[in-house]
Structure 1
Amino acid sequence: MKKIVVLGGGESGFGAAFLAKSQGLEVFLSDKGEILENYKQLLIDNGIEFEEGKHSEEKILSADWIIKSPGIPKKAEIIAKIKAKNIRLSSEIEFAAAFTDAKIIAITGSNGKTTTTSLIYHILKDAKLNVGLGGNIGTSFAKQVASEKFDYYVLEVSSFQLDDVQNFRPYISLLLNLSPDHLDQYNYNYEEYALAKFKIAENQENDNYFIYNKDDEMSQKLLEQLDLKVNKIAFSLKEKLSEGGFIENGTINVNFKDTFSMKIEDLSLVGNHNIANSLAASIASKILNISNENIRNSLMTFQAVEHRLENLPEINGVTFINDSKATNVNAAYYALESMTKPTIWIVGGTDKGNDYTEVEDLVKRKVKAIVCLGIDNQKIIDFFKDKKELIYSTSSMEEAVKVSKSLAKFGDAVLLSPCCASFDLFKNYEDRGNQFKQQVLKNHN
């Protein structure tokens, strides 16, 4: 019997262990940190052997197949030892995909993954398909494979999950866009990171589909170099395409199988990046033979994702926007681009090798004050000090919101779009966003 070892005891780790157990495989879970109480209880209830606070190397290295949680750095010592012994190392999505015949729609990209994944799921659900939502979002994919009988899975997939796939072959894959992100994990090499994203399509065959962004330079460059067998379908905001998705005269258009079009003003999501996300989702829906009426209705009724350009109640004529999920410069670019009011911008956190020149022009045009929020704000201050007069340094959400409120006048906007990871002051981007909402609404009922 195959011996499975799962590294990491969070959502994906527990899910993988649960699936292995349900398949009658021998399974052991190891977490170098502490396992959260709810996952620990689930492991106990399901009779899954585990350890926390250490990695027992001998036990781990005797495995036939090791499943690694995406949060474990690829440069971790235990990973080097696993690779040296040539043990198969996979992500949870690779492992779970081996145990289901369901059609998988997998979405990756530097930005817009969560929104587009949620949007496609919303369209499929509205069309009454039997569909699950997973990957980087919601319930673990592996857990669902073990306990549900879905015909379709819509999965948000990160580069970290794709690093550890061997045979993963989605029916439809989407690569929304590429911009330098997580470069600290990719030897500060943009192309290496971009190639990790392309792993979503490398096992696809000519009965599968790959949806990509024709306006994205790095995607275009790598498509020319890679020998992909999959059917490629593009979307573009810049040019009219004979096949794929494009915009023309204020409408989004998809030419695939037949035609679909819809006025941009009827989309529930705003901003150019969301027009691109809506085009990509529409193409995927046409591939799955969903009716135009269903697609149109779903694109009109979709609610934006929490922590992604989320509007809070207006206070004294000031708009507050929670974009805590913007953990890289490109995501903040989209947020700043969509701003129509003078903006107080809250930015900062754990820097992943950011280059702020991408947003420099938008900051000059749209931002009236910068409020840095982090343990170390020096890099941001140094970059913008000659470009913006009003820059403030804060080290707690309470302080950042207080300063922002004091700067904001009637008709202004306060935007939390941090450009950075949250781990210096917060548990994760959700915690950061929730604290922002709490502080904004404090003393205001």
Structure 2
Amino acid sequence: MIFSHFLQMFQGKKVLIYGKGRVGTALKKFCEYHKISAEIKDDSDIIDGFDEYDVIIPSPGISPSHKIYTTGKIVGELDFVYAYLPKNFKIISITGTDGKSTTAWILYNLLKQEYGEGKVFLSGNFEIPFAETVQTIQERSLKNGYIILEVSSFMAYNIQSFQSTHSIFTNFETDHLNWHSNLQDYFNSKIRLFEHTIGTSLINEQVFSRAKEFGLALPKDIPNVRVFGVEILPTVIVSETKQSRMQSEKDEIAMLLHSSQGQKTPVLKDKTDGKNIIVSGQKKYLLNETRFSGMHNAINILSCVLVANVLKICSKRTREYLKDISGLPHRLELVTTRNEVRFIDDSKSTSAQSLIAALDSFGDQKICLIAGGSDKGDSFEHLGQILAKKVKHAELIGATQEILGKICEQQGVPYHSSESMDEAVCLSAKTAKSGDVILLSPGCASFGMFRDYLDRAEKFRRAVEKLDFM
């Protein structure tokens, strides 16, 4: 997708890549590959000013409050790299507060079975930077294929020229308020991706419902929206009055979206009840025919089969593909079992909602929880009830120890603040009994104690291996 007018701005120019992490390093190699003069720096370097640079590309972790954003020289990572992508490649972008990685993983493996190993790439927030992926495509002289791109709100913030072929919005909750100026800014950053989607925008109706609850301004000009969501079923927990109110809200949101596209019916035709997955009003798939469980995974799979539907992959083949897809590494992954105690790695859990989903995945088993980490300004207001129901003991780590500790106290959940992963695992193992689960599901970012969620997972596994009394 090479835009000659866009690329001309880099010819003979001096580029500054700000941030030396995985993305910054990949961007530096990308510039070297394209013979673009570029330097890489971060806050550890002494910089007199930015006058000598013509273009500044910030790594996603650099927030808009940083001084580089006052230069007027910012070009986003996605815009910069997208300009070099061969025009026949299709990008399917996935964003949302939770479920991005699992959805990207399922969709990547589904399309890989349909189109072949060398035609589908997994990229973005999912460990492999976009720059690295596009450089690989160019080095192999590939002309067409698919990129499954996990897009964080940080990545979407600077989008100007980037275009996604199709996009998925998994869900929306409060998050990253330590990076964004407010919740509307966080929401707008996510929505920007869909304003730059040229095909179908697949959006969970929960996104609009939650945005409305938060009092956020809703978008009105997203083309080709296809709404999916959870089917409301009568239960003993939800009263008829509440069901009626919930359905009314769903109808109002659906009517808003459909009316903007000239449609009259607010009926949600792409939905799941946690067991059945319904596409275009017809039951197509059963969750128990896959290796996944839980309502959150039913929603993830629903969004993936909708992409398959948009790409005209027949439902019979899609059903067979889904049967062969295993879970995402570091997402509720079994590490080992000792004395009938299971050790589960859910290091990918970086939000309160993903922690709640993890706790809800273990039925009646009692959980020794290891949670906590960097404070992103996330809300933990809905965590208390499920902690009281599921957790027999909590080991808390990182900067959010005090916040989570107060919730544990309010709910009568025994807890302890650990200084290291080794300590947290050791004390959890001493507390656990046969049949229990020791679950690492931080519900927070990894920064501070760990390099990233992979480092956190590795330290958890090593701590488990060190146990000599189980």
Structure 1: give runs of 5+ residues left out of the alignment.
Answer: 35-52
CA distance in 1, matches of 2:131, 2:400: 38
TM-score where L is the length of structure 2: 0.82
What's 2:81 paired with?
96
CA distance in 1, matches of 2:274, 2:416: 42
Superposed displacement of residue 260, structure 1: 6.5
Q: Deviations over 1:119-174 (max 9, x none)?
A: 11111110025122211124322233234124211100000001111122201011
Structure 2: give runs of 5+ residues left out of the alignment.
Answer: 1-10, 234-265
Distance verdict in 2 for CA 1:265–1:280, change over 3 Å: same
- Aligned 1:83-162 pairs, distance under 5 A: 86-87=72-73, 89-100=74-85, 101=87, 102-129=89-116, 130-148=119-137, 149=142, 150-162=144-156
CA distance in 2, matches of 1:324, 1:143: 24
CA distance in 2, matches of 1:398, 1:9: 28
- Structure 2 residue corresponding to 1:10, chosen from 7, 21, 27: 21
TM-score where L is the length of structure 1: 0.86
Q: Deviations over 1:189-216 (max 9, x none)?
A: 22221111111111234xx110111133
- Structure 1 residue corresponding to 2:314, chosen from 291, 296, 307: 291
- Aligned 1:263-412 pairs, distance under 5 A: 263-340=286-363, 341-374=365-398, 377-412=401-436
Distance verdict in 2 for CA 1:359–1:443, change over 3 Å: closer
**Mean alpha-carbon deviation: is it higher for 239-248 or for 174-183?**
239-248
SS in 1 for 2:277: strand
CA distance in 1, matches of 2:368, 2:434: 12
Amino acid at match of 2:109: H
Superposed displacement of residue 384, structure 1: 2.1
SS in 2 for 1:345: strand
Amino acid at match of 2:184: E
What's 1:233 paired with?
226
Amino acid at match of 2:63: P
CA distance in 1, matches of 2:433, 2:372: 23
CA distance in 2, matches of 1:193, 1:420: 17
- Structure 1 residue corresponding to 2:188, chosen from 167, 186, 195: 195
Amino acid at match of 1:9: K
Amino acid at match of 1:311: L
Amino acid at match of 1:68: P
Superposed displacement of residue 313, structure 1: 1.9
CA distance in 2, matches of 1:299, 1:168: 30
Q: Deviations over 1:177-232 (max 9, x none)?
A: 01111111123x22221111111111234xx1101111332356799831324211
SS in 1 for 2:206: coil
SS in 1 for 2:16: strand
What's 2:277 paired with?
252
Identity of aligned residues (%): 29
Superposed displacement of residue 77, structure 1: 1.9
CA distance in 2, matches of 1:354, 1:249: 26
Amino acid at match of 2:17: V
CA distance in 2, matches of 1:20, 1:230: 34
Distance verdict in 2 for CA 1:287–1:372, change over 3 Å: same
Amino acid at match of 1:245: D
Superposed displacement of residue 389, structure 1: 4.4
CA distance in 1, matches of 2:202, 2:372: 33
Count of residue pairs the alignment pairs up: 414
- Structure 2 residue corresponding to 1:215, chosen from 202, 206, 220: 206
What's 2:245 paired with?
none
What's 2:64 paired with?
74
Q: Deviations over 1:342-401 (max 9, x none)?
A: 111111222222332211111111111121123662222223213224111211111111
Superposed displacement of residue 324, structure 1: 1.4
SS in 2 for 1:71: coil
What's 2:6 paired with?
none
The question of whether the paired residues in 2 share the 8 Å contact of 1:183 and 1:353 is answered with yes
SS in 2 for 1:358: coil
